[in-house]
Amino acid sequence: SQTIHQWPATLVQPVGSPLSLECTVEGTSNPNLYWYRQAAGRGLQLLFYSVGIGQISSEVPQNLSASRPQDRQFILSSKKLLLSDSGFYLCAWSVPGSETQYFGPGTRLLVL
């Protein structure tokens, strides 16, 4: 069966510090991968999606970036965090051609 992992579960970082969040998927090959952010009281916002290694599409301009160094690994990064980067970051995967997305447990990021 397929599983999706995210770490860390929670993170407190100072403004201006770098960020690296990791997501890995097991039990499937060549998944579509997604990074979302959920701010308090707001819907999930798609940040990036990837259909293959090294292929990243950015949905919103921001100081975040994403990379997919391996088929089942998706990384979200920032060189300098802003207060507004606080939120709940969710990674998701889907089978190419399928509409159903499966979410990881998420990382709660608080930037102080």
Least distance CB 24 / another protein (angstroms): 15
Least distance CB 40 / another protein (angstroms): 10
Contact 75, 67 (CB under 8 A): yes
DSSP conformation letters of 9-66: SEEEE-TT--EEEEEEEES-SS-EEEEEEE-TTS-EEEEEEEEETTEEEE-S-SSEEE
Task: Select from 4, 10, 14 the least CA-distant residue to 107.
Answer: 10
CB nearer another protein, residue 13 or residue 101 = 101
Site size toward another protein (CB under 8 A) is: 23
As given in the structure block, the two tokens for residue 10 are 């929670």
Binders of another protein among residues 7 to 66 (CB under 8 A) are 32, 34, 36, 41-46, 49, 51, 59
25, 64, 81, 104: which one binds another protein (CB under 8 A) = 104
CB nearer another protein, residue 42 or residue 69 = 42
As given in the structure block, the two tokens for residue 91 are 């990674």
Q: How far apart are CA 72 and CA 68, in angstroms?
A: 8
Asked if 105 touches another protein (CB under 8 A), the answer is: yes
Residues that bind another protein (CB under 8 A): 32, 34, 36, 41-46, 49, 51, 59, 90, 94, 99-106, 108
